[in-house]
Amino acid sequence: PKGAEDAEKWVKGVCRYCGTGCGVLAGVKGNKIVAVKGDPDCAVNKGRLCVKGILLPKIINTKDRVLHPLIKKNGEFVEASWDEALDLIVSKIKESVDQYGPDSIGFYGSGQTFAEETYVAQKVIRAGIGTNNIDGNPRTCMASAVAGFMTSFGEDEPSGTYADIEEADTFFIIGANPAEAHPVLFSRLIDRKNSNPDVKVIVADPRKTRTGDIADYYLEFIPGRDLALLNSMAQVIIEENLINQGFIDRHTEFMKGTDKLSFDAYKAFLQDYTPEKVEAVSGIPAQTIREVARLFAAPGRKTMSLWCMGLNQRTRGVWVNNLVHNLHLLTGKICSPGNSSFSLTGQPSACGSVRETGGLSHILPAHRLVANAKHREELAKIWGIDPARMPSKPGYHTLAMFKAAVEGKLKFLWVMCTNPGQSLPNLEYYRPGMEKTFMVVSEAYHPTRTSELADVVLPAALWMEKEGVYGNGERRTQHLAKAIDPPGEAKPDLEVLIEVAKRLGYEELVPFKTPEDVWKEYQRCQEGTAMQLASYDRLRKEHGLTWPVPGDDKPETYIRYARPWDPYVKEDAPDGIEFYGRPNGRAVIWARPQVDPQENPDAEYPFYLTTGRILEHWHTGTMTFNVPELKNVVGEMYVEIHPEDAAGLGIADGDEVDVISRRATCTLKAHLNGRGRPRKGLVYVPFHDQVKERMINRVLLDAFDAASKQPEYKVCAVRLQKHQA
């Protein structure tokens, strides 16, 4: 890469962007990162990087880096000392707790912080302040996957790893676009397909994407009808006797709601989902449903399912996750190499820093639950506090937290390393709440659409300016070494959290001098659970390992629930497989009916709207819009419309179009023949734009899944009209 010749040393880290978690080598000269290249020793990417990864040095020395603490005075931000900013924060927390109680405080974190940072934040919030009001942006991207894994298998996170890509014969990709959102994984998938002409790819998506370009079967279904489609595939698999009866008998049970079902009752339930009936509902020809179901279940072939936000960001996100797992359980295509039911993740450490450390309002470290008294007691013992100090009521989930700010119930909110002022759905409703509450924002950049609403902005050290641990989407815990010092007065968030805790009087909760100190305590929280992570020493030496790693003399775990890979499976488990997170060791095959999205097109709002990512940008664009090479390729977001729909409305390519929902209007340029083609009746907008008129989340609905509390970003109803200047 450009600049590599200037590097005086190369420091190992992980890419700052997506949940793929590519290993990088950062080339350092003095206190500057001059180049980045893919780490050839990293199992994830084996030296590869996508365009965002290779341009990582450009996110560091940007014009908008925050170099000093900022305090808003009379509507203007002014520079302040760290002492002044921290004193103000501490006094505001104390004042809120004294006047309104601990539940008036909220912390909103991120899948981009280090595990150590989230661990300390949740400990201080729970054991110190006494509330479970800690949540984070993984709620908006994969809470449904968490609940899906929990309800199907009894344990969170996938059974397999990315290594399944090189083993699978059939890929079933639904509600994901890895060609743009997980490009390095997609390149591994293309290699696999090119290596063997018998490898087949099924892509199910209401919008034809670049991922769809390599599909042998492309299923352009009507938005929100995937529950019917997946049930129909199950119906065919059973009807044509493509099931693995032995696996079903030994390792599964059937359930509907809280009731156990017999296999026959489940079969009867599926009679509403024959391909002929589902053709009308989903828009997919019955014959195609039969063919993809046969391919999925074909004996002797190995099948890997991959999905992402298309399934998770839905009011029935948990159910639709369950239905993908069902297909693997019915066919026994799970827990062996290449047979994998795998949810992709969006952020570099959404698993490692939030799902695993207890960064959501209902969970505690190491996949424990707030509502479980035994789990609370276990942690209180490790933390050396009276269990009575551990609040037992789950705190606000994301939308509830920001709603509480709107309603004036949340008096103090600390946002760390994320941008809810741009990323929440139905933004016009939530932004005034962020302005109303006393809000602290720890950020590397300012202004963002969140920091502009803050009372205090704290300058945060960025990627490679601090040491810590990320956990990617395949249970891989990876260490990032510190390569350079942060600029100005920016500090690692961990240092700031510890300092605030001390000033609040919680000295005994934060006896940490280094990230490794935090890690050692966090490892104690993992004892007795099925989620043991490698030691810091080992992570430094070996860089990344897939958990569980139950001891420094033990290998990483490739596949869970199966011997010889998973150390937690009992010696006498039938077939060497055991779903040990479930009380009876059996995974659940769920009867889940088709339920349509919350908002569907009607005469007034006749189009579906869906949103997603593009290759060049990431999330709210705070990093990628700082990279000229990326901004020059796509400088503003747009609306993709099917050419026939556009013709009907007199809209030509490049015209400005108003995208209008019941909540707000965005004005975007029409793309009729862009990189994706939505089905007729659907429009698509990437969500990265920072300009208010193009911030599509303003238009979106904020309905959410009743179980996971994840919002339905993927489906709402809009109307279109040519913009009148």
Active site residues: 52, 141-142, 309, 346-347
Query: Residues 608, 283: contact at Cβ < 8 Å?
Result: no
**Residue 613 is labelled as binding a ligand:** yes
Which is closer to ligand SF4, CB of 399 or CB of 615?
615
Helix/strand/coil percentages in the chain, nearest 5: 35, 20, 45
* C-alpha dist (Å) from residue 307 to 202, 352, 562, 711: 12, 19, 23, 17
| 24/427 with CB nearer ligand SF4 | 24
Find the shortest distance in angstroms from Cβ 186 to ligand SF4.
8
Q: Where are the beta strands (DSSP E) in 297-389?
A: 303-307, 340-343, 363-364, 368-369
- Name which of 27 and 581 has its Cβ closer to ligand SF4: 27
Residue 53 beta carbon to ligand SF4: minimum distance, rounded to whole angstroms: 3
614 assigned ligand-binding residue: yes
Task: Spell out the residues 6+ positions from residue 327 whose beta carbon is closer than 8 angstroms to its own.
Answer: 172, 230, 233, 234, 237, 296, 297, 305, 333, 341
Q: 3-state class of 400 per DSSP?
A: helix
Binding residues (CB under 6 A) for ligand SF4: these are 15, 17-18, 20-22, 45, 49-50, 52-53, 182-184
| Cα 151 off chain centre by | 18
Beta bridge partners of 200: 170
| Shorter beta-carbon distance to ligand SF4: residue 158 or 425 | 158
Whether residue 345 is annotated as binding a ligand: the answer is no
**Distance of closest approach, residue 38 Cβ to ligand SF4, in angstroms:** 7
3-state SS class at 46:
coil
- Give the CB-nearest residue to ligand SF4: 53
C-beta of 39 vs 712, nearer to ligand SF4: 39
In the complex with ligand SF4, which residue's Cβ is closer, 138 or 394?
A: 138
Confirm or deny that 527 is annotated as ligand binding: no
Tell the smallest beta-carbon distance from residue 539 to ligand SF4 (Å).
Answer: 18
- Residue 362 labeled ligand binder: no
Six token digits for residue 121: 């934040």
**Is the CB of 342 or the CB of 590 nearer to ligand SF4?**
342
Asked if 30 and 44 count as a contact pair (C-beta separation under 8 A), the reply is: no
Is 616 marked as a binding-site residue? yes
The CB-of-576 to ligand SF4 minimum distance in angstroms stands at 33
Q: Which residue, 36 or 261, is less far from ligand SF4 as judged by CB?
A: 36
**C-alpha to C-alpha distance for 532 and 523, rounded to whole angstroms:** 7
> Does 137 carry a binding-site annotation?
yes
Strand boundaries in 606-696, DSSP class E: 607-612, 638-641, 656-660, 665-671, 677-678, 682-686
542 labelled as ligand-binding?
no
Q: How far is the CB of 617 from ligand SF4 (least distance, A)?
A: 11
User: How far apart (Å, rounded) are the C-alpha atoms in residues 499 and 505?
Assistant: 10
Q: How long a stretch of residues is the chain?
A: 725
Contacts of 268 (CB under 8 A, 6+ apart): none
State the Cα–Cα distance between residues 237 and 562, nearest whole angstrom. 24
Nearest one of 432, 433, 315, 422 to 697, comparing CA atoms: 422
Q: Is 156 annotated as a binding residue?
A: no
Compute the least distance from the CB of residue 183 to ligand SF4, in Å.
5
> Among residues 231 and 349, whose Cβ is nearest to ligand SF4?
349
Side chain identity, residue 88: L
Question: Which residue, among 633, 626, 543, 689, has the nearest Cα to 55 in the 3D structure?
Answer: 626
Kindly state the helix (H) or strand (E) to which residue 464 belongs, with its residue range. none
Using CA atoms, how far apart are residues 220 and 248, in angstroms rounded to an integer? 31
| Residue 521 in marked binding region | no
CA distance 414 to 329: 42
Q: Coil, helix or strand for 378?
A: helix
Closest distance of CB 612 from ligand SF4, Å: 15
Q: Which is nearer to ligand SF4, 21 or 332 (CB)?
A: 21
Q: Is 620 annotated as a binding residue?
A: yes
Question: Around Cβ 81, how many Cβ atoms within 10 Å?
Answer: 12
Contact in structure between 461 and 79 (CB atoms under 8 Å): no
Query: Radius of gyration (Cα) for the chain, nearest Å?
Result: 25
Residue number with CB closer to ligand SF4 (14 or 501): 14
Q: Exposed (0-12), middle (13-18) or buried (19+): which is 259, by Cβ within 10 Å?
A: exposed
- Residue 196 annotated as binding site: no
Q: How far is the CB of 14 from ligand SF4 (least distance, A)?
A: 7
609 in Cβ contact with 619 (< 8 Å) = no
Does 2 belong to an annotated binding site? no
Q: Give CA angle at 459 (523, 478), nearest 5°.
A: 30
Distance CA 312, CA 577 (A): 27
Please tell me whether 313 is known to bind a ligand.
yes
Whether the CB-CB separation of 303 and 160 falls below 8 Å is answered with no
**At its nearest, how many Å lie between ligand SF4 and the CB of residue 339?**
24
On whether 141 is known to bind a ligand per the annotation, the reply is: yes
Please name which of 679, 554, 690, 670 lies closest in space to residue 619, comparing C-alpha atoms. 690
Q: Which is nearer to ligand SF4, 126 or 613 (CB)?
A: 613
Nearest distance, CB of residue 445 and ligand SF4, angstroms: 18
CA distances, 354 to each of 496, 556, 650, 660 (Å): 18, 21, 47, 34
Q: Which of 120, 97, 94, 122 is nearest to 108 (CA)?
A: 122
Residues paired with 29 in a beta bridge: 32
Count CB neighbours of 554 within 10 A: 13
In whole angstroms, what is the distance from residue 116 CA to residue 467 CA? 10
- Taking the complex as a whole, the smallest distance from the CB of residue 623 to ligand SF4 amounts, in Å, to 10
Closest by CA position to 486, among listed 31, 7, 10, 29: 31
Annotated binding site: 15, 18, 22, 50, 52, 112, 137, 141, 309, 313, 419, 442-443, 466, 493, 611-620, 687, 697, 714
Binding-site residues for substrate, in ranges, read 687
**Binding-site residues for [4Fe-4S] cluster:** 15, 18, 22, 50
